[in-house]
Amino acid sequence: MDYEKLKDRASKVFDDYELFFLKEKVKKYETRDAELCGVEIKYEEGIALRGIKDKRLVFSYTYDREDMAIEMLIENGVSLLPYVEKDENAGFPGKYENYPSTSVYDSEGLKADDINKVAMLVEMEKAIIDFDKRIVVTRNCELQEADIQVKIMNSNGLTAEARKTLYMLSAMAVAKDGDEVSWYDWLWSDRLNEIDAKAFGIHTAQKTVSFLSSEQIETGVYDGMLTPQASSDMLGILSSSFLSENLYKDKTMLKGKKGAKCFSRIVNIKDSGTEGTDSFPFDGEGVPSCENIVVKEGFFDTFLYDSYYGRKYDVPSTANCERAGVKELPKCGTRGFFIEKGLRNIAGELTNGIIIEELMGTHTANPVTGDFSLGAIGYLCKNGIKRPFKGVIFSGNIFELLNNVKEIGNDLRFFGTYGSPSLYVEGLKISGK
């Protein structure tokens, strides 16, 4: 593709334009019974155009790499202009000189032999099976490798270009001993050599057998712990409340509460473009990634803005534009959204109370009010003795829950774009037997 020709054509047709180039190669390895059973390769390469003419913004995209694709891309955009309303806030970011230095590209990992990557999977699967004779089968033993290249250019002189890798290891183990239980887990890294497949396999096996002989617990209000996985799921429910788009659409309980205490004083929440699985030097429209403190010591501090809603509210972008791919319009979104870790390890210290390990049905929660009613599994602790439970409903309100946090651990872990350490919380409402 002739970049200069495309820029020249776009500049002659539109008052302002933005070009988004994406190359993404994903390779997935899968093993079964400690042998390779499949390799899947997906490749995506395309261009997205946003053009503005007479304050009307249009969007088009193509996966065609031939020169004629330039004309098709432009013509498709122009054809939409009569159907688009004028928008005074339509525009693109200006030029930036500096971008944060990130270590998200692993060229050595990409060059590693397929044999070594399959060996990692086999080692993980064997570690699961060999851990306990009650583990009867493994499923979804996969290693996924993504190589992502992005380039963004616009008519304001902005040029941003970067590349990243992402490795994700996953497995499910099934155990039987009277009853049958399963546990699915995954981990990720931008660098292949940072993944310990054997340790992950042992952890998955330990977690699986720990849920054998699970029972319902009594209905009641408990004090207890939310693990990083459960806490991250809760944070995913809350995250949309911090978006300026939802402020504009009146879909957040935080409207008008800037500077007010909304959570426990020990809760600090940040959004960072250089944390989590989507870490990158810039956001979806080329604004340099940065760290934004949205909650400081329990007080709500700021909403998150892309450049569009930044113009609406006359504030700078907080680098919170996200893109799902070539054929999706960019939108305001969180990047790496997490609760800041505490000073010490509190996991494993609970002697009386409950530990919530996994939540089911988080998509049913109300992201505006924060109300939720979710399935949960975990452990009941009595006098230091821990036994697993299942088949209960955990209900409440995410705003109230984060107001009742009494201690935060130092075991911060990211599950995708959301991260949290363990949280010790009072007043967890459980509906059981």
Write the pLDDT tens digit of every residue in 357-371.
999 999 999 999 999
The span from the CA of 370 to the CA of 362, in Å, is 11
Structure confidence at residue 160 as a pLDDT band (50, 70, 90): very high
Single out the residue of 309, 303, 338, 311 nearest to residue 321, CA to CA.
Answer: 309
pLDDT tens digit sequence for 372-419? 999 999 999 999 899 999 999 999 999 999 999 999 999 999 999 999
Structure confidence at residue 70 as a pLDDT band (50, 70, 90): confident
> Is residue 106 a contact partner of residue 279, using CB atoms and an 8 Å limit?
no
Q: Percent of the chain, pLDDT > 90?
A: 93
Whether residue 66 has pLDDT greater than 80: no
pLDDT tens digit sequence for 310-353? 999 999 999 999 999 999 999 999 999 999 999 999 988 899 99
Q: What pTM value is reported for the model?
A: 0.94
- Structure tokens, 104: 């998200």
Please state at what angle helix 68-80 crosses helix 3-13, rounded to 10 degrees.
Answer: 30
Single out the residue of 39, 16, 55, 201 nearest to residue 124, CA to CA.
Answer: 201
CA atoms within a 13 Å half-sphere pointing along the CA-CB vector of 372: 27
Whether residue 1 has pLDDT greater than 70: no
Mean pLDDT, rounded, for 246-255: 97
Whether residue 433 has pLDDT greater than 90: no
Whether residue 214 has pLDDT greater than 80: yes
Task: Give the sheet arrangement for strand 413-415, strand by strand.
Answer: 299-300, 291-296, 269-272, 336-339, 418-420, 413-415
Whether residue 4 has pLDDT greater than 70: yes
pLDDT score, position 64:
86
Q: What b/e readout covers 194-205, taking b as 16+ CB neighbours within 10 angstroms?
A: ebbbeebbbbbb
C-alpha to C-alpha distances, 349 to 108, 386, 430, nearest whole angstrom: 40, 11, 21
Q: Comparing 62-66, 113-117, 259-263, 305-309, which segment has the lowest mean pLDDT?
A: 62-66
Q: Comparing 18-27, 66-75, 88-97, which segment has the lowest mean pLDDT?
A: 66-75
Whether residue 2 has pLDDT greater than 80: no
Whether residue 178 has pLDDT greater than 80: yes
Task: Measure the N-to-C terminal CA separation of the chain; round to a whole number of Å.
Answer: 64
Please name the residue ranges forming H helices in 333-415: 398-403
Which residues neighbour 239 within 8 Å (Cβ) at sequence distance 6 or greater? 334, 337, 418
Whether residue 67 has pLDDT greater than 80: no
Whether residue 427 has pLDDT greater than 90: yes
Whether residue 171 has pLDDT greater than 70: yes
Structure confidence at residue 86 as a pLDDT band (50, 70, 90): very high
